[in-house]
Amino acid sequence: MQIDQTLRDGVPIVALKGRLDSRAAELCAARLVPLAGDGRPALILDMAEVGYVGGAGLRVLIMLAARARACGAALSIAAPPQPLIQALALSGLGERLEGVLPAV
């Protein structure tokens, strides 16, 4: 899993590349969860180059959404793979996001 971060108008955009599976989940949680509580009003995850999201990856996204909400930040996911769109709907996570964007 590769994680690249940029800022656009003060909003962190984090591009994830690779598989968000059990091996990558701990790294992602360590890098992403603190971003959701750093005082910025929003965080965008660019998932255009994520080929797979497993159960552990979905848990990271749920933790991230909870942290963002608790800190008053808006979390959006951009360009999620189709299976993740279905998982967002089934898990209820989609309702906790600011939005699902077609692209960044």
Opening angle at CA 66, ends 79 and 4, nearest 5: 40
How far apart, in Å, are the Cα atoms of 69 and each of 1, 26, 43?
25, 20, 11
Under-70 pLDDT residues of the chain: none
Domain range for 93:
2-101
Report pLDDT for 99: 83
The number of distinct structural domains making up the chain is 1
What does residue 37 show for φ and ψ, rounded to 5 degrees?
-115, 20
pTM of the model: 0.90
Q: What is the pLDDT of residue 41?
A: 93
Token pair 């971003």: residue: 35
Starting at the edge strand found earlier in the chain, the sheet holding 11-20 runs 2-8, 11-20, 42-53, 74-78, 99-101
Q: 64 to each of 53, 70, 86, how far by Cα in Å?
A: 15, 10, 18
Q: What is the CATH number of the domain that holds 9?
A: 3.30.750.24
